[in-house]
Structure 1
């Protein structure tokens, strides 16, 4: 499988939404404090730390926890919708893994680095 015509449009759209949901989740987590609950930081020599000194973490607010939970729920729902899609019943059992990987590859957004390398 090398083209999108082998996948139904709704499955392609579900997988694209799943990629986008994962990216939004990762970006949101990157801006949050390192600990969900308030936690005292430490200096490099006190504990193992590949990042050096670790500052105190104020923890996540209730709103931030709710947002993360909502994002995870969306990721789970989209994952289930992709995996349970009726298209997979039409793919030979021994080809499902390769087809699934092809779907992911076809729908993965192009990273800015990929655009400059292609030019």
Structure 2
């Protein structure tokens, strides 16, 4: 993430609200390296799941439902 200056919007006529976004300092080299490593791992794991032999055991119409169930179970596990 590159450094960027903050900004403030014009005052909204009806609400009087003014949006404000603070300056963004950017990432350190260490943070940038960590992000690249994590993105690489995400791509690797995503490919592993996508080509897993399990999906071939399902009928074509059931694959989408099975993938959605997998996503849902992960969300539920993270919520605990």
| Coarse TM-score class (shorter-chain normalised) | 0.7 to 0.9
Please state if 1:81 is matched with 2:29: no
**More strand as a share of residues:** 2
Gaps of 5+ in 1: 1-35, 113-119
Which residue in the other structure is 2:14 paired with? none
- The 3-state SS of whatever aligns with 2:49 is helix
- The superposition leaves residues 14-33 of structure 1 with CA deviations (integer Å, 9 ceiling, x where unpaired) of xxxxxxxxxxxxxxxxxxxx
- Counting matched residue pairs gives 74
Q: What CA distance in whole angstroms lies between the structure 2 residues aligned with 1:82 and 1:67?
A: 22
RMSD of aligned alpha carbons:
2.2
Structure 1's consecutive aligned runs of 4 or more residues displaced over 4 angstroms after TM superposition are none
2:6 maps to which residue?
41
Asked which structure has the greater RCO (Cα within 8 Å, sep 6+), the reply is 1
TM-score by length of 1: 0.54
